[in-house]
A and B are shown apart, each in its own frame.
Chain A
Amino acid sequence: MSALLPEQEVHAIVILGDFNPSIFHPTWFSQNDLLPAEETGAVAEMLITREVATYDVSDINVQVESHRFGLTTKDSAKAPVIRDLAMGSFGLLEHTPLQAVGLNLDVEVAVPSVEQWHEIGHRLAPKATWETILDTPGMRGIHIEGKRPDCSADVLNIRVQPSNPSKGIYSVIIRVNQHYNLDPKEELSVRARNDAVMRILKEDWKSFRPFALRAAVQIISG
């Protein structure tokens, strides 16, 4: 199969901890020099309560709940921006107790033909066993976890699933998640955990995207 390249990338950074969602108003980001006031002032719709803050700003979806801080963008040009937003936010909110971090990249790769689309499913989930149980078994999803060499992440999760074929376009979605448990035994200080998050975002983030893209292309290409 010829090399297939990603059609679309969705980047996300998720941090678990104890948050006060109402802080994360668009204006807070501009007042702290994290986003231009011109962009935060243009946010048309938002939901900000004590329990949740959610809105789109600068092609980034901000979603903060009491235990979850999430930044998502489908514009790869903004991938470094969500990293900076997360770093800037918790650089300011340095006493926020943080528990876990996830770097995420979802990649959609279009496959030229339905035959090749099925071939990927057959390769990732061989049907020999399934055909003794079911007629026409098909892979709806596969989830593999493991470690990444030279990376301090606790676990890497890779999910593969076919998209819904629409208008004759066949594609496969690969979701790569690099997960860090900051302090499972709760021995570290809040400050030390904050520093760990900063290190992950500063150092590990850069190599995550190339790794995830290589993984996606390799999974698809075989």
Chain B
Amino acid sequence: MSVLDTLTSQTASDRNLTTKRLDPDDWFKPTLDEQPANRTDRDNAVNADDTDSVEPKRWKPPVRRSNLGIKLDGDRVKIEQQWECIVLDVGDGVVSCEMLDLTDESNPSEFAEVYKTEFSEFDRQLLQEGSVFYWSVGQIRKPTGQIRRHSEIRVRRMPALTRTKEAEIARKVQRLGKLIQAQ
């Protein structure tokens, strides 16, 4: 089994999705001598499915998320609707936007005005025409069973273009310009 396999296979701790929160201490780096994929699904059982010999050679392991196991205790956020919103105008107290449904892309776009106070303070400075924010609406279920309504707005952050990317775009624009002129 390659190093790649060990990085993409599940471990026994991965199977229940019910353990504690992610901590740095939970991390371990599998080595060739300690291959988590060889740990069985049942801790004390020997499971032939986990041995390398039964895997066809052509089989490639999927790229999997963390081997640490995702821990689902604590609050559970259940999103019922999520939009990608493009800012059309920023007024004194409200932001006008076009909303594209991420939950179901077949839904038509909608338009809305959102109070600026709904945005985190560190996000407000990013609001301008053309900027994008995500609006998620759903519920939070507490471990006690209590349910709260949940609404979260978060402005999209993208780094500035690198010089190479800028140059590449400039070249493409120049090429397109020449093509248009030629016609």
Q: Which residues of A sit under 8 angstroms from B138, Cβ to Cβ? A: 76-77
Q: Are B64 and A177 in contact (CB under 8 A)?
A: yes
Closest B residue to A47 by CB, please name it.
B24
Closest A residue to B154 by CB, please name it.
A81
Q: Are B70 and A36 in contact (CB under 8 A)?
A: no
Contacting residues of chain B (43-83) with chain A, CB-CB under 8 angstroms: 60, 62-66, 68, 70-72, 76-79, 82
Q: In this complex, which of B24, B68, B141 has the most chain A Cβ atoms within 10 angstroms of its Cβ?
A: B24
Q: Which residues of B sit under 8 angstroms from A63, Cβ to Cβ? A: 27, 66, 68
Q: Pick the contact of B66 from A72, A100, A108, A163 — CB < 8 Å?
A: A72
Interface size of A by CB at 8 A reads 68
Interface size of B by CB at 8 A reads 55
Closest A residue to B120 by CB, please name it.
A36
Contacting residues of chain B (144-158) with chain A, CB-CB under 8 angstroms: 150, 152, 154, 156-158
Q: Does A199 contact B (CB under 8 A)?
A: no
Main secondary structure of the interface of B (DSSP, over half): loop
Q: Are A94 and B162 in contact (CB under 8 A)?
A: yes
> Do A77 and B62 form a contact, CB below 8 Å, given A35-B157, A65-B29, A91-B159?
no
Q: Are A77 and B78 in contact (CB under 8 A)?
A: no
26 contacts between A and B (CB under 8 A): A7-B76, A8-B17, A8-B78, A9-B79, A10-B65, A14-B64, A45-B24, A47-B24, A51-B29, A52-B29, A54-B27, A55-B24, A65-B7, A67-B4, A74-B71, A76-B138, A84-B157, A84-B158, A100-B63, A104-B63, A104-B64, A106-B17, A155-B60, A157-B62, A163-B16, A207-B105
| A contact set with B: CB distance below 8 Å | 6-10, 12, 14-16, 32-39, 45-47, 51-52, 54-56, 61, 63, 65, 67-68, 70, 72, 74-81, 84, 87-88, 91-92, 94, 100-102, 104, 106, 108, 140-141, 155, 157, 161, 163-164, 166, 173, 177, 179, 181, 206-207, 209-210
